[in-house]
Structure 1
Amino acid sequence: MKKTRNILRALRPWAVALAAAPLLAHAWTNKPVRIVVPAPAGGTMDVVARVLSEAISAEIGQPVIIDNKPGAGGAIGVHALNSAPPDGQTIMFMVSNILTEIPLVMKTGFDPVKDVKPVTMVARSAMVLVSAPTVPANDLKGLVAYLKTGKGSPGSYATYSAGTSSHYAGAIFARKAGLDLQHVPFPGSPPALQNLMGSQVDILFDGIVTSLPLIKAGKVKVFGVGAKTRLAQLPDVPTMAEQGFDEIDFSNWAGAIVSAKMPDDMVKRINAVLTKVASSPKVRERLIAQNFVPMTSESPEQLAKITHDEYERNAKIVKAYNIQLNQ
């Protein structure tokens, strides 16, 4: 009996190792992982990172820590990413405007092509046009008429950052509607929405992820969807295209990037884990509950092409509408 116990005791470490083998096979690092988020807590990027972090930790068997680094159009976060060794312990979760929109109008201090590598997308998020609850209008036509009276704050549109699709959409809307609106940028959706609800600003093009709970609570009014098709969450709200603003069609992808110095084989290992995690029913359900559309890219190379195409499309918009940082 004693001999049997000794044999079992000797085999126990091997049994533990074998049980952990499937988990460790998917790990790209044997140390804690830091996820840099270039936005404040509560914003779209932060929501995505927190939905994924728990699942990533379970998959790789390591703690995952969220590190919010907002400001400077994402440059602070990218600097933090690239200041860390490219060993897989530091990755970034962000929304694609950090790469495809902001650098077109702001000196970010990093090259969106040369300094980072896209890894995988996990979801997309559409935009909606919302207003302060005190705005006396019930449809887009009435909103435009009200803003033309100059009785607003006065005539202002907020954005969740200068140089983002929030800024692009606001500038396009103002130009096509014949409005003279002051651009008021904020460092993220939460502070922009706070000021909107307080009627310090009139309107905001915001991601549905952060706006929908406030729309449902009656704390902001919604006037249109910034996409070609209506949203399942707001089936009765017409798109901006339906209302004559067909160029307002923005849908940023949310996902991970890493330092350009990271070896490609490491990037592919991280891609494999994140794609697996983002494709799981539990994570997809949580993303849908947060009003995202779950979506993954096939490879880092495919995502790099998607990112390049979005950058080129936005560059044409910036040129056509002469969108500037302080516009």
Structure 2
Amino acid sequence: MTSLFNRRSLGTALAAALALLAAPAAFAQTSSDKPLRVVVAVPPGGTSDIVARMLAEGLQKELNRTVVVDPKPGAGGALAVNDLMQAPHDGNTVLVAPNAMVSEIPHVVKLRFDMAKEIKPIAELARAGLVMVGHPSVPAKNLADVISYVKANPGKVSYASYSAGSMSHVMGLQLIKAAGIDMTHVGYKGSAPGLVDLVGGHVQLMFDGIPTSLPMIKAGKVVPYAVSLPQRSPLLPNVPTFKELGYPQLEAVAWIGLWLTPNVPAAAQARLREAALKVMARPAMRQHLNELGMDPGQARTPDEMAKSLGAEYERIGAVLKSINFKPE
């Protein structure tokens, strides 16, 4: 009996010792030997893709490991999220995607899973606001003039959004309600086609992301009236915020984040968050973001980001529900 107990104790001790010796090797394999794969929820060349490649280059040096960018566009980002869900949850696969993945997409596309439960934001990489722009033919120098013009032409003025059910759609609905005006919404599949029709005079107004509208603003092809940021954008210092102009309900921030599945080990989450924030805070990165029409992300905690996503989801849902909007 005693002999059996001693053999079992020795076997247990040896197993524990071997496990401890193997642990560093296992950690090294998941943290440095394997490539870090960055899945992107948009096509190559999109803003999130550009930010992902900036991040990947920095992480490769910061973590001293191979980093591969893998675009998985389609289905409103669901393909990229599904890829992340199917990959081992060890921190070797991450997702770069906009906050719209959780706050907007579930209202627009019928999904087979709950975005907010399947992915978790661990770092905010970059942010930008939306800007209300108009065709130069609109006789308006400011937002008050736009509202007066729309009131004088009820039902004859149209505004574009980069997607039905998106924040750019919702902001128009909020302005319609707050200002008591009548405008027609025209939804597009992306900013580019909406801007083309705006510049061509087929629609008079548009709510668009600052990064995509900025080149058109600088070229004088569209006129900016207000931005959705809490403060004026350094890129458009002469353009007031909606809040300044008496429309605080139109305050909104779009941001691109680094996401993981929630069950990735806490140590891996913390390491990736720390490295990503460090990379994106470098002066060269900040300058590149400004050239893209974006600001560096804020160092909010994952819990703070998750809370803001929940609030945005509810806000957008309430507005869309008021017009009986249904997902595709």
TM-score (norm: length of structure 1): 0.78
Q: Which of the residues 188, 210, 217 maps onto 2:212? A: 210
* 1:131, distance to aligned residue in structure 2 (A): 1.9
* 1:41, distance to aligned residue in structure 2 (A): 4.1
SS of the residue 1:123 aligns to: strand
SS of the residue 1:162 aligns to: coil
Please give the alpha-carbon distance, in whole angstroms, between the structure 2 residues aligned to 1:96 and 1:150. Answer: 35
Q: Rate the CA distance shift 1:63–1:132 in 2: closer, same or farther, 3 A.
A: farther
Q: Rate the CA distance shift 1:91–1:190 in 2: closer, same or farther, 3 A.
A: farther
Please give the alpha-carbon distance, in whole angstroms, between the structure 1 residues aligned to 2:83 and 2:297. Answer: 27
SS of the residue 1:121 aligns to: strand
Alpha-carbon displacement from aligned partner over 1:10-46 (angstroms, at most 9, x marks no partner)? xxxxxxxxxxxxxx98x93433333232234444323
Check the 8 A contact 1:209/1:290 in 2, yes or no: yes
Who is 2:6 aligned against?
Answer: none
Q: Which of the residues 37, 41, 55 maps onto 1:38? A: 41
Q: Rate the CA distance shift 1:173–1:149 in 2: closer, same or farther, 3 A.
A: same
Check the 8 A contact 1:74/1:108 in 2, yes or no: no
* 1:98, distance to aligned residue in structure 2 (A): 1.4
Please give the alpha-carbon distance, in whole angstroms, between the structure 1 residues aligned to 2:70 and 2:137. Answer: 36
Q: Which runs of 5+ in 1 are unaligned?
A: 1-23
Please give the alpha-carbon distance, in whole angstroms, between the structure 1 residues aligned to 2:191 and 2:40. Answer: 14
Q: Which runs of 5+ in 2 are unaligned?
A: 1-26
- Structure 1 counterpart of 2:59, which letter? I
Is 234-243 or 39-48 further displaced after alignment?
39-48
Q: Rate the CA distance shift 1:100–1:136 in 2: closer, same or farther, 3 A.
A: same
Say whether residues 1:132 and 2:114 are aligned partners: no
How do residues 84-233 of structure 1 correspond to structure 2 at under 5 angstroms? Answer: 84-104=87-107, 106-148=109-151, 155-233=157-235
Q: Rate the CA distance shift 1:136–1:40 in 2: closer, same or farther, 3 A.
A: farther
* 1:317, distance to aligned residue in structure 2 (A): 4.7
Alpha-carbon displacement from aligned partner over 1:272-315 (angstroms, at most 9, x marks no partner)? 22122122222223223323221343543443334334434545
- Structure 1 counterpart of 2:259, which letter? I
Check the 8 A contact 2:106/2:115 in 1, yes or no: yes
- Structure 2 counterpart of 1:194, which letter? V
Indicate the percent of aligned positions where both proteins have the same amino acid: 39
Please give the alpha-carbon distance, in whole angstroms, between the structure 1 residues aligned to 2:154 and 2:301. Answer: 50
Count of matched residue pairs: 301
Alpha-carbon displacement from aligned partner over 1:199-244 (angstroms, at most 9, x marks no partner)? 3332221121221122111121111112343222222222223333
* 1:120, distance to aligned residue in structure 2 (A): 0.8
Who is 1:67 aligned against?
Answer: 70
* 1:147, distance to aligned residue in structure 2 (A): 3.8
Please give the alpha-carbon distance, in whole angstroms, between the structure 2 residues aligned to 1:242 and 1:75. Answer: 37
Who is 2:305 aligned against?
Answer: 303
Check the 8 A contact 2:154/2:183 in 1, yes or no: no
Check the 8 A contact 2:230/2:243 in 1, yes or no: yes
Alpha-carbon displacement from aligned partner over 1:153-172 (angstroms, at most 9, x marks no partner)? x6322222233221211111
* Bigger-Rg structure (1/2): 2
* 1:139, distance to aligned residue in structure 2 (A): 2.2
Q: Rate the CA distance shift 1:229–1:269 in 2: closer, same or farther, 3 A.
A: closer
Alpha-carbon displacement from aligned partner over 1:233-286 (angstroms, at most 9, x marks no partner)? 222222223333221000123211123453333222221221221222222232
Alpha-carbon displacement from aligned partner over 1:85-120 (angstroms, at most 9, x marks no partner)? 334343211221211233245423331221112111
Say whether residues 1:292 and 2:290 are aligned partners: no
Check the 8 A contact 2:129/2:254 in 1, yes or no: yes
Q: Rate the CA distance shift 1:81–1:58 in 2: closer, same or farther, 3 A.
A: same
